[in-house]
Structure 1
Amino acid sequence: MWTIGIAYQPIHAFLDPKSSPRIYWLPMKRKDIFAADPFGAVVDGRLCILCEKFDFRKDKGIIAALEFDSRSLLPGFYAVLDFPSHISYPYLIEHEGNHYMIPETSADMEVALFKAERFPNRWEKAGVLIEGVAAVDSTVFKYNGRWWMMFTDGASGPNNLLHIWHAPDLLGPWEAHAANPVKDDIFSSRPGGTPFEYDGALYRPAQDCSRTYGGAIVLNRVLTLTPTEFAEEKATVIRPQKDSPCPDGLHTLSSVGGITLIDGKRCQFNSIALKVALIQKAASLINGRRRAGQSTVSAHPANG
């Protein structure tokens, strides 16, 4: 189970391995859903968080919103974007006075950009940035006068191979990096939050999936980023605190001004998830037998 945490410190505070920013974890009382992949913005004095809301009964995620006022959680945890397919990782961008979102839509084989008509609950599709790619956790930012997009490719494994695309403008045209895939490393390739600049350097949060999915967050220091070259090194690793409510994993770290959002994992038995998995397995077996039966009938037509 995943849940969301809030640290009332800037994201660069996590660079110090001796520092341990205090995280306020949101309670998740229901066993049929979890919340992960938090990104946020402050609008009219309220902290608005967009996140993945995963429903075990439906076996899919949607994008939902939470709102805070003076550090108090306002009632409601409501849907803002729901597709027939699974969506997650609602990456937020503020550009020219507008809020944009790039949710992960790898199942639809596209990277789509949505513009807020009324933040945080009304969105319109502004365009498709890339087509024909199962981009996982697309992360977009402007650096050195150019727009950059980083993601892993679900078709070749979501945790290992880092791809970069770049463009002169947020809406494109986008083109692939000359050295794609630029990195092959299960420890620190898959994007995991908001890139940020601090003390003259660019840092990129990534997921360490070497032992488990979303086991820890690695802050990479980017050394070179051009349309033809890329290099980065590990600056620090943020591991889950074993005495916290979420001791088993972390996989998103995002910045909202002087506030940092994070998510955490707690491994526990979930009867609802088990029931859904068993139903899916049974359906798969039944469909497989039906297909096998149809093949047998077509291979041995009746005499007549």
Structure 2
Amino acid sequence: MLKRPRTDFWQVGIVPLLIEDVTACALQAARERITWLPGAGRWRYLADPFGLVRGDALHVFVEAFDYRTKRANIERHEFALADLTWRGHTTVLDKPFHLSYPQVFEHEGETWMVPESFQAGEIALYRAADDSLDHWERECALIGGVPGADASLIEYQGRWWMFYTLVGPGARDQRELHIAHSPMLAGPWEPLAGNPVRVSREGARPAGRPFIGRDGVLTLPVQDSSTGYGGATRLLRFPMLSPERVDIDAGAERLTGDLVSASHTAGLHTLSGCGAFTLIDVKRIDRSRGRQWLDMKRRVRRLLGG
């Protein structure tokens, strides 16, 4: 008998909690006040949330993955800032390759996005073409010729810093943390000579926007995949970060899906601050046989050129 396939489904939530205040206890205490994004539909899920506050709205950008095509595009979900009423969603970036992890931020009067596009062999910068946040134009490649994933950027102490991982054999992307730096957002970006600066399945792949903690230390959410992909999130602190030296304090606390959800307890792999909110995603695992038929139909369509 064929083994039942494993299918991961993610759900995105808005936690009314400052990212600087996130702990396991704080997440659990906020559990009943989380606003969850609407369901994505059959064989789809939403994950990798990043946000922007504009006027009276919270804009949540997510990876929208479809198992029928095995790739994702980027959606924008809009919420009323006052009560988090959902106003609708729009697909804002769609390419012939997989897109995810849409880190969005503002800099020098423009709105930028650095989505994961490792299948295109680059880490690229996109710019919002208008104030609607629905149209984006590729500005440039920040780092080309590499299968970079989950690039997370921050301006810190007069320089731009990028934390990322590389997709490769042996689940390399789940255990390596790389860093690059630049005097300007558009580059030139220079990877550190000591990359990877951390190798550990317990916390290396970036899992959200870097931030400055209350103690002034740069902090990076990272995935803990020691129990499976995206099983939990940890916070890495960088007491020293310079082109010549990187000191890392790996926090022991694991942030898991069961802290915030009764149905999606198998993982929590994004933790992204946005104003007074922290955006998260949590995972459930499905083992129905419907996935086998779905994969078979996709292979047939490919063979037939459809």
TM > 0.5 between the two?
Answer: yes
Q: Could you tell which deviates more after superposition, 104-113 or 115-124?
A: 115-124
CA deviation digits over 1:143-179, x for unaligned, max 9?
1111011111003521111111110000001111021
8 Å contact 2:68–2:298 — kept in the other structure? no
CA deviation vs aligned residue, 1:12-62 (integer Å, no higher than 9, x gap): 121x34323333323416222110000010112100011000011111100
Question: Shift in Å at residue 280 of structure 1?
Answer: 5.3
The correspondence for 1:160, drawn from 170, 175, 190, is 175
Given the alignment of the two structures, is residue 186 of structure 1 paired with residue 201 of structure 2, yes or no? yes
Q: Secondary structure at the match of 2:48?
A: strand
1:275 CA displacement: 2.3
2:14 aligned partner: 6
| Distance in structure 1 (CA, Å) of the matches to 2:90 and 2:70 | 18
Gaps of 5+ in 1: 288-304
Give the letter for the 1:253 counterpart.
L
Alignment RMSD = 2.0
**TM alignment of 1:66-85, pairs within 5 A:** 66-69=77-80, 70-85=82-97
Verify: 1:30 aligned to 2:30, yes or no: no
The farther-off stretch of 259-268 and 115-124 is 115-124
Partner of residue 259, structure 1? 277
The answer (yes or no) to whether the contact 1:203–1:220 under 8 Å persists in 2 is: yes
Code of the aligned partner of 2:196: P
Alignment partner, residue 18 of structure 1:
25
C-alpha contact (below 8 Å) 2:230/2:267 kept by paired residues: yes
- The answer to whether the Cα contact below 8 Å between 1:57 and 1:273 also exists between their aligned partners in 2 is no
Distance 1:151 1:86, change over 3 A: same
Does the Cα contact within 8 Å between 2:40 and 2:46 map onto a contact in 1?
no
Separation (CA, whole Å) in 2 of partners of 1:72 and 1:148: 32
Paired position in structure 1 for 2:64: 53
CA distance in 1, matches of 2:53, 2:250: 30
1:250 aligns with 2:257: no
Amino acid at match of 2:257: P
How far residue 86 of structure 1 moved from its aligned partner, in angstroms, is: 0.7
TM-score by length of 1: 0.88
Alignment of 1:91-170 (within 5 A): 91-118=103-130, 119-156=132-169, 157-170=172-185
Structure 2 partner of 1:229? 245
Query: 1:241 offset after TM fit, Å?
Result: 1.5
The count of corresponding residues between Structure 1 and Structure 2 is 285
Which AA in structure 2 matches 1:107? Q
Alpha carbons 1:193, 1:205 under 8 Å: kept: yes
Q: Secondary structure at the match of 1:237?
A: coil
CA distance in 2, matches of 1:161, 1:228: 19
Q: Establish whether residue 219 from structure 1 lines up as the match of residue 227 from structure 2.
A: no
Q: Which runs of 4+ in 1 moved over 6 A?
A: 281-284
What TM-score, normalized to structure 2? 0.87
Deviation at 1:192, TM superposition (A): 0.1
Q: Distance in 2 between matches of 1:64 and 1:18?
A: 31
Residue 153 of structure 2 contacts residue 160 of structure 2 at CA under 8 Å; is this kept in 1? yes
Moved more, 5-14 or 70-79: 70-79
Displacement after TM superposition at 1:282 (Å):
6.9
